């Protein structure tokens, strides 16, 4: 299967990745090769087989009590933030 430059642009947009025009042919080529490999899955007879999402099938997601388990460490976490003001993360204006 091969992916067209148009499809690559669409995928990159969905993935929120800016791609320069000159990068597109290389991704088109390598993703097409990857899906060529993936197409081998068509050989497998999977009718009636339940999809396996997780290796430990008999495990269930645990629940815990709805209680505070860790202290507020906002200031510490925000030391890694590119831009903060008054404890808030700043982003470009989203509402006109």
Partner 1 sequence: MADQTLASLAAGLKARKYSSVELTKAFLGRIEHAQPALNALVTVTAESALAAAAAADVRIAAGTAGPLTGVPIIHKDIFCTSGVRTTCASKMLSNFISPYDATLVGKYKDAGTVMLGKANMDEFAMGSSNETSFFGAVKNPWDLAKVPGGSSGGSAAAVAARLAPLATATDTGGSIRQPAALCGVTGLKPTYGRVSRYGMIAFASSLDQAGVITVSAEDAALTLQAMAGFDPRDSTSVDVPVPDYAAELQQPMRGLRIGILTEFFGEGLDPAVEQAVRDSLAVWQKLGATIQEVSLPNLPLSVPTYYVVAPAECSSNLARFDGVRFGHRCEDPKDLLDLYKRSRAEGFGSEVKRRIMTGTYVLSAGYYDAYYLKAQRVRALINQDFRRAFGEVDLLVGPTTPTVAFGLGDKTSDPITMYLNDIYTIGANLAGLPAMSIPCGFAAGLPVGVQLIGPHFAEGRMLAAAHAYQRETDWHLRAPSGWAADFEPSTTGGAA
Asked if residue 27 binds partner 1 (CB under 8 A), the reply is yes
Asked if residue 76 binds partner 1 (CB under 8 A), the reply is yes
Asked if residue 11 binds partner 1 (CB under 8 A), the reply is yes
Asked if residue 15 binds partner 1 (CB under 8 A), the reply is yes
Burial class (CB in 10 A: 0-12, 13-18, 19+), 6: exposed
Asked if residue 79 binds partner 1 (CB under 8 A), the reply is yes
Residue 26, SS3? Answer: helix
- In the list 2, 4, 22, 81, the residue contacting partner 1 (rule: CB under 8 A) is 81
Q: Print the binding letters for residues 35-74 with partner 1: x by CB under 8 A, - otherwise.
A: xxxxxxx-xx-x--xxxxxxxx--x-xx-x--------x-
Q: Work out the end-to-end distance of the chain between its first and last CA atoms, rounded to an integer number of angstroms.
A: 43
Type and span of the H or E element at 89: strand 88-89
């Amino acid at each position: 299967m091969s992916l067209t430059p148009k499809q690559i642009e669409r995928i990159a947009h969905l993935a929120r990745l800016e791609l320069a025009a000159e990068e597109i042919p290389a991704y088109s080529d390598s993703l097409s090769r990857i899906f060529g490999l993936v197409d081998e899955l068509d050989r497998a007879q999977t009718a009636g087989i339940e999809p396996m999402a997780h290796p430990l099938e008999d495990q269930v997601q645990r629940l815990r009590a709805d209680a505070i388990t860790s202290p507020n460490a906002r200031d510490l976490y925000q030391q890694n933030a590119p831009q903060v003001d008054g404890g808030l993360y700043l982003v470009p204006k989203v509402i006109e």
